[in-house]
């Protein structure tokens, strides 16, 4: 066993170089600003102060969270019935349906989003609505698959037992099926909310320039303005928002509690 | 006792297969009823129909005088303990038990004492907060029972609930279940394939087979008075013999007449006779009903299980001629052939076909390259007369490769043992070394090759050849002639006793008229 442990080293090197180190660099940039010729780097909280003092930045942050939140809720509302429907089909048909759900994912996201741009071009939808449509379309399969997996793992005897103990079909769903699919919903949320809150590509393409989100902001400061210090600070704030929301979603997961 | 449940002519089919063939059964209040039978006998199906999870195709289920066939499961005053418990993994022990009461919208202050009392009943006080996956199999079992009983059902259904537990725990739970049933005083319907479980716990056992009820009775009735061979075999170990009822109180089996307590059979009616192993005693030679030899002694903890052979098997010895591997090689066609000599019953000569000869000589032809592709034999030349003797047979392929084998036509030498009334016959066998080495089950193959057959001289029924004896190692065999002996099963009696006996000891077995139980021959 011990000799197998060495197999983890390549990953440790990989993670150290490509994940931990860049993160440290971001932290470094976020807490610093370009100095003068004598002192090249000055440590400061200025970047954070700038973000929280300007209401526009807060607005963008809230807009991003709101977008991710509504996208997630819509994905649950659309995805749950779909997953429930698939899970109750004959096993052969389940495979076909799962394939149908995953198939669009095989096409590059860029191509799909450009297709949506074409579709939505001549509609009178607001830029916001267009972004929502694109977001839900893109993230829905993740939600369906997560919920479907938890539903299909469920022991069908549990429903018979609920029936035996006095539940009609509706009560059995509310008391047994729904609670048991919570882990699926939670991981669905994780897979939808996290990428959604930091997404910049779909809003940029479907919302036009007018719908600015945190993702766009970060992209803008890194790529266009070249202000890496402020960009890093925004990224760090984003990371903290994500960590907090992850903490709260996990709290609902009874499964983790049991361990 | 009041009649609680009546099954009236219940028929159930799955995909055209009849699983229940018209079940009629009455179940009374406060009874512990066991549905006993092997898997696939329909016992679980019957239980699921009563629970409301399945609907019968024909017949009616009457509960407390009312037809309940259309009533959905959740409205029936019946609860079930499922085979794999089906506890809710997202709820703790307390909430699992409280589940049914919460559905009934009972208030918390009513639920709490009920749940706690139930947990006490099943011996799980203090486990309220535990998660289901923190419980052992036996504890989960108890939660499942508490979860069902807390609803105060009129009937509790238990679908093989003990099958997942180990032997010791199962014994404990059997007593526990019986105690719980006596304490709550409701009807338990228990499904199992374990006869011991059924005998231990039940007030009434229903023995089922292939969708029919074979017998209904108390454990003692079922054990002591099984109605047929099937029930006798299923409940406990038994000695079961073919016999003939000579007249009332006199039965004949194993060529002797015995007094018995059974009557009301037809004169000379063929019957099955059961003697339980614990009802037979072993005495000194010539002092009991039948003499015999102890052939096996097994210590079973409390008692010995002793096998006494009262009748030897009948034996027939043949010769196995092992030949070298003599493949014929035809260079011109690049083909190889093989065939072996064989023996044949003189009576079969008239009906012989070329295909038979190819099969019995195991004649084969194949390409002599790596593919070893099989080639068909398209000509068989033979002239076999219905007289004992050796005759050549030539097998040919289309490309002119040929091989010759000898057929040994013989009159079957039947060994007929007049005393034991058993006939046995078998032919000499000619095989190549390879064929013997390739045999996966040499005893079975030898029986087939030699066409070994034994039968009862009186009834013409086949008698099983129980033993094939030979003294060679099939994997190391060389050319030559070997003896093979086929032996039929003798008559043996299984006896449970606390006395010690040695293998090989000559003894006599004894039993009284009341130990003999005569049953009608079961149909099928």
CATH number, domain of A154, equals: 1.10.3720.10
CB B359 within 8 A of CB B519: no
Would residue A7 count as lying in a domain?
no
Q: Between residues B416 and B327, which one has the greater pLDDT?
A: B327
**Complete DSSP assignment for B288-328:** SSEEEEEEEEEE-SSSEEEEEEEEPPPEEEEEEEEE----E
Q: Which of A161, A176, A182 sits opposite B82 (nearest CB)?
A: A161
Give me the mean pLDDT over the B404-424 stretch: 77
Q: Which of A166, A179, A254 sits opposite B103 (nearest CB)?
A: A166
**A–B: how many Cβ contacts below 8 A?**
61
Minimum CA–CA partner of B78 in chain A: A164
Q: Is A103 helix (H, G, I), strand (E, B) or coil?
A: helix
At B419, the pLDDT band (50, 70, 90 cuts) reads low
| Residue B36 and residue B167 share a domain | yes
Domain hosting A101: range is 64-258
- Partners of A182 on chain B (C-beta within 8 Å) are 90
Cβ-defined contact of B86 to A163 (cutoff 8 Å)? no
Query: What angle, 0 to 180 degrees and rounded to 10, lies between the N-to-C axes of helices A46-53 and A55-87?
Result: 80
Q: Please, which residues bridge with residue B495 across strands?
A: B306
Neighbours of A134 (CB within 10 A): 26
Would residue A214 count as lying in a domain?
yes
Least confident of A20-29, A125-134, B465-474: B465-474
- Partners of A167 on chain B (C-beta within 8 Å) are 74, 103
| Residue B306 and residue B328 share a domain | no
- Partners of B97 on chain A (C-beta within 8 Å) are none
CB B39 within 8 A of CB B193: yes
Would residue B496 count as lying in a domain?
no
DSSP summary character for residue B363: -
Place of tokens 């959604």: A196
Q: Between residues B255 and B199, which one has the greater pLDDT?
A: B199
Above pLDDT 70, what percent of chain B? 98
Residue B127 CA: distances (Å) to CA of B118, B119, B140, B332: 12, 8, 11, 86
Give me the mean pLDDT over the B286-292 stretch: 88
Would residue A11 count as lying in a domain?
no
Would residue B498 count as lying in a domain?
no
Give me the mean pLDDT over the B14-23 stretch: 90
Residue A13 has pLDDT above 90, yes or no: yes
Domain hosting B455: range is 315-488
Residue A94 has pLDDT above 70, yes or no: yes
Q: Which of A157, A165, A180 sits opposite B84 (nearest CB)?
A: A157
| Residue B93 and residue B73 share a domain | yes
Cβ-defined contact of A161 to B80 (cutoff 8 Å)? yes
Boundary residue ending a domain (B230, B264, B290): B230
| Residue B406 and residue B304 share a domain | no
At A259, the pLDDT band (50, 70, 90 cuts) reads very low
Minimum CA–CA partner of B97 in chain A: A165
CA distance B84 to A231: 57
Residues sharing a CB contact under 8 Å with residue B484, sequence separation 6 or more, in sequence order? B317, B318, B319, B320, B429, B446, B450, B468, B469, B470
- When the pLDDT of each residue in chain B is averaged and rounded to a whole number, the result is 87
Q: Are strands B402-410 and B342-345 parallel, antiparallel or unpaired?
A: parallel
| Residue B193 and residue B74 share a domain | yes
Residue A156 has pLDDT above 90, yes or no: no
Is A179 touching B (CB cutoff 8 A)? yes
Is A252 touching B (CB cutoff 8 A)? no
Neighbours of A125 (CB within 10 A): 12
Cβ-defined contact of A155 to B86 (cutoff 8 Å)? yes
| Residue B247 and residue B131 share a domain | no
CA distance B454 to B314: 9
Boundary residue ending a domain (B174, B208, B230): B230
Least confident of B100-104, B342-346, B377-381: B342-346
Distance from CA of A157 to the nearest CA of B (A): 6
CB B317 within 8 A of CB B485: yes
Give me the mean pLDDT over the B174-188 stretch: 89
Least confident of A46-55, B105-114, B249-258, B411-420: B411-420
| Residue B342 and residue B439 share a domain | yes
Burial (Cβ within 10 Å: 0-12, 13-18, ≥19) of residue A33: middle
Domain count for chain A: 1
| pLDDT in the model for residue B94 | 94
| pLDDT in the model for residue A84 | 94
Cβ-defined contact of B86 to A161 (cutoff 8 Å)? yes
Q: Dig out the tokens for A207 from the structure.
A: 């919302």
| pLDDT in the model for residue B314 | 80
| Residue B47 and residue B26 share a domain | yes
At A254, the pLDDT band (50, 70, 90 cuts) reads low
Domain count for chain B: 3
Minimum CA–CA partner of A169 in chain B: B74
- Partners of B87 on chain A (C-beta within 8 Å) are 161
Instruction: Phi first, then psi: give them for residue B305, nearest 5 degrees.
Output: -105, 115
| pLDDT in the model for residue A137 | 93
**Chain B interface test: which of A153, A159, A161 (most B C-beta within 10 Å):** A161
pLDDT digits (tens, 9 = 90+) for A161-173: 999 999 998 999 9
| pLDDT in the model for residue B243 | 87
Q: Dig out the tokens for B477 from the structure.
A: 């065999």
Residue A25 has pLDDT above 50, yes or no: yes
| pLDDT in the model for residue A257 | 42
At B169, the pLDDT band (50, 70, 90 cuts) reads confident
Minimum CA–CA partner of B86 in chain A: A158
| Residue B321 and residue B293 share a domain | no
- CATH code, domain carrying B57: 3.40.50.300
Boundary residue ending a domain (B230, B258, B273): B230
Minimum CA–CA partner of A180 in chain B: B90
Q: What is the CA radius of gyration of chain A?
A: 23
**Chain A interface test: which of B85, B86, B102, B105 (most A C-beta within 10 Å):** B86
| pLDDT in the model for residue B418 | 66
Of these ranges, A247-256, B96-105, B310-319, B354-363, the one predicted with the greatest mean pLDDT is B96-105
Cβ-defined contact of B82 to A171 (cutoff 8 Å)? no
- Partners of A180 on chain B (C-beta within 8 Å) are 88-90
| Residue B136 and residue B123 share a domain | yes
CB A35 within 8 A of CB A218: no
Would residue B120 count as lying in a domain?
yes
Would residue B187 count as lying in a domain?
yes
Cβ-defined contact of B147 to A165 (cutoff 8 Å)? yes
Would residue A51 count as lying in a domain?
no
Least confident of A19-28, A99-108, A113-122, B366-375: B366-375
pLDDT digits (tens, 9 = 90+) for B477-506: 888 888 888 888 778 889 999 888 888 888
Residue B62 has pLDDT above 90, yes or no: yes
Would residue B493 count as lying in a domain?
no
| Residue B324 and residue B263 share a domain | no
Element spanning B479, H or E: none
Would residue B495 count as lying in a domain?
no
Would residue A21 count as lying in a domain?
no
Q: What is the pTM of this model?
A: 0.70
The candidate with the shortest Cα–Cα distance to B291, out of B318, B277, B310, B304, is B310
| pLDDT in the model for residue B56 | 92
Residue A256 has pLDDT above 50, yes or no: no
Distance from CA of A124 to the nearest CA of B (A): 47
Would residue A13 count as lying in a domain?
no
Distance from CA of A183 to the nearest CA of B (A): 10
Cβ-defined contact of A164 to B148 (cutoff 8 Å)? yes
Cβ-defined contact of A165 to B53 (cutoff 8 Å)? no
**Complete DSSP assignment for B373-394:** -EE-EEEEEE---SSSEEEEEE
């Amino acid at each position: 066993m011990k000799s197998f442990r060495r197999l983890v080293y390549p990953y440790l090197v990989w993670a150290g170089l490509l994940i931990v180190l860049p993160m440290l660099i971001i932290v470094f940039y976020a807490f610093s600003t370009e100095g003068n010729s004598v002192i090249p780097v000055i440590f400061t909280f200025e970047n954070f102060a700038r973000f929280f003092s300007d209401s526009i930045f807060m607005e963008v942050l809230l807009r991003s969270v709101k977008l991710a939140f509504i996208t997630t809720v819509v994905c649950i509302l659309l995805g749950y019935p779909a997953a429930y429907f698939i899970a109750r089909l004959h096993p052969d048909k389940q495979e076909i349906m799962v394939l149908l759900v995953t198939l669009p994912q095989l096409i590059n996201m860029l191509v799909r989003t450009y297709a949506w741009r074409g579709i939505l071009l001549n509609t009178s939808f607001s830029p916001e609505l267009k972004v929502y449509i694109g977001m839900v379309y893109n993230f829905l399969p993740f939600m369906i698959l997560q919920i479907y997996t938890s539903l299909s793992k469920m022991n069908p005897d549990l429903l018979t037992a609920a029936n035996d103990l006095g539940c009609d079909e509706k009560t059995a769903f509310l008391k047994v099926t729904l609670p048991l699919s919570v882990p699926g919903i939670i991981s669905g949320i994780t897979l939808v909310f996290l990428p959604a809150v930091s997404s910049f590509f779909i809003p940029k393409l479907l919302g036009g320039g007018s719908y600015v989100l945190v993702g766009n902001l970060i992209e803008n400061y890194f790529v266009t303005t070249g202000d890496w210090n402020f960009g890093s600070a925004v990224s760090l704030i984003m990371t903290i928002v994500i960590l907090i929301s992850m903490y709260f979603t996990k709290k609902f997961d009874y499964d983790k509690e049991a361990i | 006792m009041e009649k609680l449940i009546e099954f009236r002519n219940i028929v159930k089919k799955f995909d055209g297969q009849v699983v229940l063939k018209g079940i009629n059964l009455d179940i009374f209040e406060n009874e512990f009823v066991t549905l006993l039978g092997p898997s696939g006998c329909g016992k679980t199906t019957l239980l699921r129909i009563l629970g409301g999870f399945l609907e019968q195709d024909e017949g009616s289920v009457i509960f407390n005088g009312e037809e309940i066939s259309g009533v959905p499961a959740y409205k029936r005053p019946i609860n079930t303990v499922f085979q794999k418990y089906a506890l809710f993994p997202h709820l703790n022990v307390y909430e699992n038990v409280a589940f049914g009461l919460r559905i009934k919208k009972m208030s918390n202050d009513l639920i709490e004492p009920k749940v706690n009392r139930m947990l006490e009943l099943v011996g799980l006080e203090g486990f309220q907060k535990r998660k289901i996956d923190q419980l052992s199999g036996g504890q989960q079992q108890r939660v499942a029972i508490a979860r069902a009983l807390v609803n105060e059902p009129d009937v509790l259904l238990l679908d093989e609930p003990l099958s997942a537990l180990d032997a010791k725990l199962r014994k404990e739970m059997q007593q526990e279940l019986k105690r719980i049933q006596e304490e709550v005083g409701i009807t338990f319907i228990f499904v199992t394939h374990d006869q011991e479980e059924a005998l231990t716990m039940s007030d009434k056992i229903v023995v089922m087979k292939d969708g029919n009820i074979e017998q209904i009775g108390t454990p003692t009735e079922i054990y002591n008075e099984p109605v047929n061979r099937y029930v006798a075999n299923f409940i406990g170990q038994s000695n079961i013999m073919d016999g003939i009822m000579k007249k009332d109180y006199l039965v004949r089996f194993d060529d002797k007449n015995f007094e018995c307590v059974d009557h009301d059979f037809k004169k000379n009616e063929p019957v099955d006779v059961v003697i339980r192993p614990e009802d037979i005693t072993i005495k000194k030679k010539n002092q009991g009903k039948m003499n015999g030899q102890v052939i096996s002694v097994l210590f079973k903890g409390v008692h010995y299980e002793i096998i006494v052979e009262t009748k030897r098997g009948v034996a027939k010895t043949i010769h196995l001629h092992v030949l070298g591997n003599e493949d014929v090689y035809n260079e011109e066609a690049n083909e190889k052939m093989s065939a072996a000599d064989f023996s044949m019953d003189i009576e079969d000569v008239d009906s012989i076909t070329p295909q038979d000869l190819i099969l019995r000589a195991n004649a084969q032809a194949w390409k002599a390259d790596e593919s070893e592709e099989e080639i068909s034999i398209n000509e068989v030349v033979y002239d076999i007369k219905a007289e004992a003797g050796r005759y050549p047979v030539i097998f040919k392929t289309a490309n002119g490769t040929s091989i010759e084998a000898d057929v040994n036509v013989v009159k079957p030498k039947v060994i007929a043992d007049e005393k034991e009334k058993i006939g046995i016959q078998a032919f000499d066998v000619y095989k190549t070394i390879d064929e013997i080495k390739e045999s996966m089950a040499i005893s079975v193959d030898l029986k087939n090759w030699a066409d070994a057959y034994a039968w009862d001289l009186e009834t013409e029924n086949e008698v099983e050849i129980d033993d094939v004896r030979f003294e060679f190692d099939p994997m190391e065999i060389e050319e030559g002639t070997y003896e093979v002996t086929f032996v039929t099963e003798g008559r043996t009696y299984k006896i449970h006793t606390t006395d010690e006996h040695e293998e090989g000891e000559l003894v006599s077995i004894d039993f009284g008229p009341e130990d003999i139980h005569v049953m009608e021959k079961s149909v099928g």
